[in-house]
Structure 1
Amino acid sequence: MRHYYFLVLLMTCSLQLSAQQNDIVKTQGITSALHQNNIGQIIFTEKAITAAELKKTDFLSAYTLTNKSNLFITVFMGNSLTNYMHQLAPELNADSLVKIGCYQFSLFIDDHLVYSSNLHPGAPYGSIKNFETIISKPLINYQAENTLWTQSFWGRFMHFGGDSALTEGKHLLRMEIRPYVQLATLKVGNLIAKGELNITVNRKPKIDLAKINLNPVKAYDGFPVSTEKLDSNKIKELKAYIDAAVFKNISSVVVIKNGKLLVEEYFNGEGRDTLHDPRSVGKSFASAITGIAMGEGYLKSEDQTLKEFYDLKSFDHYSPLKEEVSIKNLLTMSSVFDGNDDIDASPGNEENMYPTDNWVKFALSVPVSLTRPKDEWHYFTAGVILLGDILNKTVPGGLDKYADEKLFKPLNIRDYKWQYTPQHVPNTAGGIRLKALDFAKFGQLYKNDGKWNSKQVIPKFWIEKTFTKYKALPGRNGEYYGYLFWNKKYVVKNKAYETFYCAGNGGNSIFVFKDQPLVIVITATAYGAPYAHPQVDQMMERYILPAVIDTN
């Protein structure tokens, strides 16, 4: 028997020595007997458990998946990711490998591949790729959504087929992990680890409408209580689905009809006095202030160009094309700058801007695009930072004071918070915090053609220009862009209802309907979640609009 154990030990040492000789970086190695016995396995647990504390009794073989589930993985690997990638590209050093490769995660439902993703090389960090031989991360963490790269992968899986594949009832979930490197062509390596979990999906709650009560509507400054008809059962059903996390991370729903408050519901611990962070909804506030400044003559027209405000030759990547970028280009997201927030590799992507100490300098230093069709729409947050800077240096007292005097005070909005740029200019990229009902005031101001309490706050001509379909949105049939406002149509009972609207990351929206006396506000905190905006569309078409529109 001793001879047998000696041979096993000798073989194990030989294998480890061989692996070490072929490795390019030193790893943490095999950390425990549990690790050794489960190399190549993905273990599922219902809570976060460190690899050091994990026991075999924690391993899940079956699980019930609800809208409020948590699901964590521990992956026991035989080597680090960098060493696995080295087998695919032995000519490259470790620093090069971590920049061009990562994990390929694949998820199967009932032996059918639903989604596979080559994870971005930036997650996890290079030092982790080099050293760690264990992954301990959440796929789902209901209490802290979308905070880690593994959760982001699960969100994409749900968006790209997982949601429809996980029908009510029993399923087999299988996960596989491989390494990849992106050379001239994509190279995918052998299986690193896999795991299976029997799941019972129970995501559709049973609703008893008789036990659901709507929030009593009370008057608010500028909004008396509406007595209009309302399909309360539709709103009750929506409320039940939000409470059961069918629709996730919703914080408020407000409906204004004919200038009166019809629906006011809050969720997830929020209330009437909560200041919500609607992210890029704030861009539309920049448009409003631009219109006010235009009406008062501080800006001559939206055809003014950047060369009137900046010495463009003093910034990197100068091009004569930048000289002709107009305020209108910034308002309609159609400038020549090579900036697109929807493309990670874009030089002008907003994520490249935030770590810098001067966002205006960053924006003006973005190179021009020589490949994108002229004047084509592209989502360019840094361009709105330029617009805010132009306003700040043009209006009396600066943007902060001017916005307060000309927009917020006339609406009697006192409780609000800007975010600021590194130069302490209000951040027109987004993030201004207001109460849900004050966001509704902003929407109603547009519905009123710029008037509030008989005072013309925003020039009517600016409202008309803002609500013009200047740019078709690429890849979105029938959707357009105005002056930092979006445009689309919702279909209810085969009838289309057109809206201009503000939108921000997380599922935040202020809808101003063209042919209905409606302003609708939805605030949410599903930041970075692929489901954030699609779930708002479902809420609007299935519940909110059917409950409040005039069908006669």
Structure 2
Amino acid sequence: MKTWVLCIIYLFIGLPFLSAQNIVTPNAIDNPIHRQYSGKIVFLSQPSDSQQIAASDFIDSFELKEGQPLAARFFLANSLTNYLHQLDQTLSVEQLIQNGNYQFSFYVDNKLIYTENLTTGAGTVQSKNQWTQFRIPLISITNEDSWGRFLWGRFYYGNGGSDALFGGKHLLKIEVRPYLKTVNGIKTGTVIASGELNFSTPVIQLTAKQIALQVIQPGSNWPLSKEPLNRKKIEELNKRIAEKRFKNITSIAVIKNGKLLLEEYFNEANRNTLHDTRSVGKSFASTLTGIAIQDRYIKSENQSLKDFYELKKYDHYDVQKDSVTLKNLLTMSSVFDGFDFDSDSPGNEENMYPTANWVQFTLNLPVDRNKRNGEQWNYFTAGVVLIGDILHQNVPGGLETYADQKLFHPLGIRNYKWQYTPQKVANTAGGLQLNTLDLARYGQLYQNKGKWNGKQLIPQSWVTKSFTNYFPENEHNKGYGYLFWRELFTVNGKNYEAYACSGNGGNKIYIFQELPLVIVITATAYNQSYAHSQVEKIVTEYLLPALLNP
């Protein structure tokens, strides 16, 4: 009798190791707090150790303010892999991990705001097979390297969370389910954890000046546009920037039909501010390559690395390195084992920066046997360092002088700042600093098919190649050209294609293909999960509607 009662109790509290359906052995649930809160999500305002955690650590209300962290702890009755196994018992552990993860649903005031199927690469194998409880930061003041922080950023800044939770008191609810990719689509299980939090945000009082469309000041060196603009939309945008619902935005400029239509600055930036645009500088490497080919200092983008380096002198020589072309580097599709979006990749850019010679680091990398040159896109900053080095070695006066003479000076750009590699070569991987209107000049050069003031600075054919998509859409991008990202914006059911320079923090230069538009947005949301999603929202929900429906 006692044994029977004990079994019922165990089943009630959900001890997973008793389940005959498990495919892996999860961690035992031996913590009284875990047993009490199994199937619950609790919230914390301070870091906590899972072994020392007490119910008194949990919070039921939270006020959003600067410097205040927020985390969630999940108490599950089983591990993720076992939940996925319940969805399809024919798959192996490896197949379950490769095709499934957690699905998160965010509700505000009982209304579903955002649902995301967490990418299958998020989380470790151990966490999926064994963990029955875990903590994720939602709002972090230390920028913890966690998928949870980025998930919150996508919900809050990119998918309606900030609007739903703004101004006063609200009820935030999070539900978690397992999901599995199948041949018939996404299959989801029942809710395995949920939690509620009373969430409040302060009401910010703004002045009319903070909201008003900013007047373009004299001395821009641009012809001014007289085309209509939906001022109300821009004022709504300015209001959200002032309220910090769009964070760290420093400037916005719009060029329409070659004329300056909108120029606005925020967060202490101004017309003379040199913005650290990070990887926007990669696109400049593409530009200079096209100019160097036009000037015949480089034969073509189809030249191989073996034309520029004695590859056998470097580590991990492989015959496949001989056939890596400049085009492979321009399109991020070489066989080097390097992928910046994978922290375990040998060629991840974070492994390069501490080294004494970035070119040597790159050429020493092994090849990835699963790749073929030109076939698979993997974002690879180190490859752009090679492009810069090749340019530096082959153009007269070196890369920096050549760029000034052939690009910046003809565009009328006088005030700019490079970052440098350890070898004192201008860094084409990122960090080039320009002001907003000069970034717009660069974008308009491409809108003009490479021509500026009647002179063809870049071959029109190179612009066409740069704005050609070489890859199918994937989870990381909608396409990629010669160090330019392909973007699609949907407004009123219609898609608008643009090619973009893009940099960490939310720095963008958009060159639209069917519209006579260049949009520049600068921001300092470096390493923040919301950096790019909030910019996409700004363009989709405010700028394009203001321009298309004046």
Backbone CA RMSD of aligned residues: 4.3
Indicate the larger mover: 426-435 or 495-504. Answer: 495-504
* Residue in structure 1 matched with residue 235 of structure 2 by the alignment: 236
Indicate the larger mover: 254-263 or 196-205. Answer: 196-205
Partners of 1:219 and 1:261 within 8 A in 2? no
1:157 paired with 2:156, answer no
Q: Distance in 2 between matches of 1:341 and 1:391?
A: 23
Partners of 2:170 and 2:200 within 8 A in 1? yes
1:268 paired with 2:267, answer yes
Partners of 1:69 and 1:140 within 8 A in 2? no
Q: Distance in 2 between matches of 1:475 and 1:205?
A: 39
Matches within 5 A, 1:51-450: 62-65=61-64, 70-71=68-69, 140=139, 147-149=143-145, 153-159=148-154, 167-168=164-165, 169-171=169-171, 198-202=197-201, 212-372=211-371, 374-378=373-377, 379-450=379-450
* Residue in structure 1 matched with residue 131 of structure 2 by the alignment: none
Q: Which amino acid aligns with 2:385?
A: I
Q: Distance in 1 between matches of 2:457 and 2:270?
A: 28
Provide the secondary structure at the position in 2 that maps to 1:246: coil
* Residue in structure 2 matched with residue 24 of structure 1 by the alignment: none
Q: 1:260 to 1:474 in 2, by over 3 A?
A: closer
Provide the secondary structure at the position in 2 that maps to 1:527: coil
- The Cα shift of 1:504 comes to 1.1
Partners of 2:338 and 2:380 within 8 A in 1? yes
* Residue in structure 1 matched with residue 51 of structure 2 by the alignment: none
Provide the secondary structure at the position in 2 that maps to 1:472: coil
- The Cα shift of 1:173 comes to 7.1
Partners of 1:377 and 1:471 within 8 A in 2? no
Deviations 1:245-267 (A, max 9, x none): 21111111100111111111111
Q: Distance in 2 between matches of 1:439 and 1:504?
A: 13
Deviations 1:426-449 (A, max 9, x none): 111111000011100000111112
- The Cα shift of 1:70 comes to 2.4
Q: 1:203 to 1:532 in 2, by over 3 A?
A: farther
Partners of 1:343 and 1:349 within 8 A in 2? yes
- The Cα shift of 1:454 comes to 1.8
* Residue in structure 2 matched with residue 457 of structure 1 by the alignment: 457
Provide the secondary structure at the position in 2 that maps to 1:481: coil
Provide the secondary structure at the position in 2 that maps to 1:402: helix
Partners of 2:324 and 2:373 within 8 A in 1? no
* Residue in structure 2 matched with residue 530 of structure 1 by the alignment: 529
Q: Distance in 1 between matches of 2:301 and 2:148?
A: 41
Q: 1:157 to 1:72 in 2, by over 3 A?
A: closer
TM-score when normalising by structure 2:
0.71
Partners of 1:450 and 1:460 within 8 A in 2? yes
Q: 1:324 to 1:433 in 2, by over 3 A?
A: same
Q: Alignment identity in percent?
A: 47
Partners of 1:316 and 1:366 within 8 A in 2? yes
- The Cα shift of 1:148 comes to 3.7
Deviations 1:104-134 (A, max 9, x none): x99997999999999989xxxxxxxxxxxxx
Provide the secondary structure at the position in 2 that maps to 1:489: strand
Q: 1:377 to 1:439 in 2, by over 3 A?
A: farther
- The Cα shift of 1:519 comes to 0.5
* Residue in structure 2 matched with residue 518 of structure 1 by the alignment: 517
Q: Distance in 2 between matches of 1:521 and 1:482?
A: 19
- The Cα shift of 1:489 comes to 2.1
Deviations 1:315-362 (A, max 9, x none): 111001100111111111111111111111111111111111111011
Deviations 1:27-74 (A, max 9, x none): xxxxxxxxxxxxxxx9988799xxxxxxxx9996533336x5723679
Q: Distance in 2 between matches of 1:437 and 1:524?
A: 14
Q: Which amino acid aligns with 1:349?
A: N
Provide the secondary structure at the position in 1 that maps to 2:309: coil
Q: 1:425 to 1:472 in 2, by over 3 A?
A: same
Q: 1:74 to 1:294 in 2, by over 3 A?
A: closer
Partners of 2:338 and 2:347 within 8 A in 1? yes
Q: Distance in 2 between matches of 1:512 and 1:201?
A: 39
Partners of 1:334 and 1:376 within 8 A in 2? yes
Q: Distance in 2 between matches of 1:310 and 1:536?
A: 40
* Residue in structure 2 matched with residue 475 of structure 1 by the alignment: 474
Q: Distance in 2 between matches of 1:213 and 1:228?
A: 18
Partners of 2:212 and 2:238 within 8 A in 1? no
Provide the secondary structure at the position in 1 that maps to 2:410: coil
Q: 1:109 to 1:213 in 2, by over 3 A?
A: closer
- The Cα shift of 1:541 comes to 1.1
Q: 1:164 to 1:288 in 2, by over 3 A?
A: closer
Indicate the larger mover: 329-338 or 217-226. Answer: 217-226
Q: Distance in 2 between matches of 1:153 and 1:226?
A: 44
Provide the secondary structure at the position in 2 that maps to 1:317: coil
TM-score when normalising by structure 1:
0.70
Deviations 1:76-105 (A, max 9, x none): xxxxxxxxxxxxxxxxxxxxxxxxxxxxx9
- The Cα shift of 1:515 comes to 1.5
* Residue in structure 2 matched with residue 6 of structure 1 by the alignment: none
Partners of 1:505 and 1:527 within 8 A in 2? yes
Q: 1:492 to 1:138 in 2, by over 3 A?
A: closer
Unaligned residue ranges in structure 2 (runs of 5+): 1-40, 48-55, 74-101, 125-134, 177-192
- The Cα shift of 1:487 comes to 1.4
